[in-house]
């Protein structure tokens, strides 16, 4: 398959491209990525001779149309992804997530190319703390942040292009990912690298907010399954039944890294902070037979800590800048 991967120099996209090279050597993979602050050539360095990398913006219609015309399928990861950044400046989120997705949709429409659009559970808003309900494919959209509003807009564009123009697209909405190559601005890598650089971990508010964690390899295995076997026009929810409060995750990191359980700071809470996300992945499991393979959260967290210990060259150049930005926000 000639695969075009947007955002393939980011966290999930890079892991997806690594998996393609490892498990599908018959694929011809092209990555298009504008290499924002979140994109890293270093994430693709081990496989740079196995893929083609084009530095470019997915909102560049001429470039995207040319790349799509040469492809059998597009897997669309490219986006601005960090909620705290969206709260500070939403403009790049409108550009990449909305205009970028629109540009891609027009290109796949013109050339009748299969598209898989990677989205987030944050489009559904949040659930009450302590409840047992979970998001399903029919939960109404109710985004809370500028980030999730732009992802919801992109999902709606995909649905409209499927209905109006018969574009051959699927959508997946996944919960919180962790694993190698995740930017140090995000919760788990931030706390691990805080400890590795002698800083104290930082917990927003009380730490009661709940996220539903999934290893990035399990997310990407699901994306691959949907790309090959998913039903056109369908939305699939991806999650691994791993709800944890932020405090629980932080205490697990502290335990894995042999630190005292109270060795962290409470900092200013995020504005409009979503309380709880939880995914019901039944459709994906029953219709496509997908199941996560990283089912032991503590073991997967421990492997992730080990990855950050052994890849300091990958994250160290980013760390001081990220912490300076957080400090400016009281976080």
> Is 122 a residue of the active site?
yes
For residues 323 and 331, give the distance between their C-alpha atoms in angstroms, rounded to a whole number: 9
Helix axes 61-69, 100-111, angle to 10 degrees: 40
Residue 96 binding ligand NAD, by CB under 6 A: yes
CB 134 within 8 A of CB 276: no
Burial of 217 (0-12, 13-18, 19+ CB in 10 A): buried
Kindly indicate which of the ranges 171-179, 254-262, 304-312, 323-331 contains the residues binding ligand NAD, using the contact rule CB under 6 A.
171-179
Kindly indicate which of the ranges 29-37, 128-136, 283-291, 302-310 contains the residues binding ligand NAD, using the contact rule CB under 6 A.
29-37
Q: Cβ 313 to ligand NAD, closest distance in Å?
A: 18
- Rg value, the chain, Cα: 19
Q: Nearest to residue 103, comparing CAs of 150, 62, 144?
A: 62
Q: Which of 150, 176, 243, 251 binds ligand DAU (CB under 6 A)?
A: 176
Mapped onto helix, strand or coil, the DSSP state of residue 179 is coil
Rounded to 5 degrees, φ, ψ at 163 are: -70, -45
Residues 222-261 that bind ligand DAU (CB under 6 A): 246
Residues 46-75 that bind ligand NAD (CB under 6 A): 57-59
> Is 121 a residue of the active site?
yes
Residue 220 binding ligand DAU, by CB under 6 A: no
Q: Which residues bind ligand NAD (CB under 6 A)?
A: 6-7, 9-13, 33-36, 38-39, 57-59, 77-81, 96, 100, 118, 120, 151, 174, 176-177, 183
Q: Which residues bind ligand DAU (CB under 6 A)?
A: 81-83, 120-122, 175-176, 186-187, 190, 202-204, 209, 211, 246, 270, 277
């Amino acid at each position: 398959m000639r695969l075009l991967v947007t955002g393939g120099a980011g966290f999930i996209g890079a892991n997806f491209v690594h998996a393609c090279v490892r498990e599908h050597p018959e694929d011809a993979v092209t990555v298009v990525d504008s290499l924002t602050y979140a994109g890293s050539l270093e994430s693709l360095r081990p496989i740079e001779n196995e893929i083609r990398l084009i530095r470019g913006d997915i909102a560049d219609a001429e470039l995207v149309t040319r790349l799509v015309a040469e492809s059998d399928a597009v897997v669309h990861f490219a986006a601005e992804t960090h909620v705290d950044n969206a709260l500070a400046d939403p403009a790049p989120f409108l550009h990449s997530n909305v205009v970028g997705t629109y540009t891609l949709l027009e290109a796949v429409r013109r050339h009748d190319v299969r598209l898989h659009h990677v989205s987030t559970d944050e489009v559904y808003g949040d659930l009450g703390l302590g409840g047992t309900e979970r998001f399903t494919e029919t939960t109404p959209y109710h985004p809370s942040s500028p980030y999730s509003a732009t992802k919801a807009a992109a999902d709606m564009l995909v649905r409209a292009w499927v209905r109006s123009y018969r574009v051959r697209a699927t959508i997946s909405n996944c919960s919180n990912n962790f694993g190698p190559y995740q930017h140090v601005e995000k919760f788990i890598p931030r706390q691990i690298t805080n400890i590795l650089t002698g800083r104290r971990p930082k917990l927003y508010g009380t730490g009661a907010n709940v996220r539903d964690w999934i290893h990035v390899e399990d997310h990407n295995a699901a994306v691959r399954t949907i790309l090959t076997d998913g039903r056109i026009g369908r939305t699939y929810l991806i999650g691994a039944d791993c709800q944890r409060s932020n405090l629980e995750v932080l205490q697990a990191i502290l335990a894995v890294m042999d630190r005292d359980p109270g060795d962290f700071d409470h900092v200013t809470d995020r504005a409009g902070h979503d309380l709880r996300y939880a995914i019901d992945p039944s459709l994906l499991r029953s219709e496509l037979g997908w199941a996560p393979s990283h089912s032991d959260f503590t073991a997967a967290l421990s492997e992730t800590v080990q990855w950050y210990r052994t890849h300091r060259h990958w994250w160290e150049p980013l760390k001081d800048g990220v912490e300076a930005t957080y400090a400016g926000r009281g976080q």
